[in-house]
Structure 1
């Protein structure tokens, strides 16, 4: 997280999002340099050495 290398047991992006407690949040997912549409998350497998970035939008006043 935050630029660090992390290990995960999640086999796909949706599992990772659930493990991180981000389900239902406004996020963007980038896998190996490509932004994934929300409907691709359950099919997008996380392979060894995958580069995954999740951006969580937070509002403020």
Structure 2
């Protein structure tokens, strides 16, 4: 099922914001190895969309 999305309500600005990779890793609970891999991939800054697509977040449940 599809629905109409009003472009005025949704904003791509959140996904295009540039984050510090180290801040993102700390907030998402990533280990140092994965943070290092993200820095090698993107440098010290990347968009939230890029970071979310390329990180493996730790599971919170069993």
- For the criterion TM > 0.5, the same-fold answer is no
Q: TM-score, normalised by structure 1?
A: 0.32
TM-score by length of 2: 0.32
Structure 1 or 2: larger helix share?
A: 2
**Would you tell me which structure has more strand in proportion to its own residues?**
1
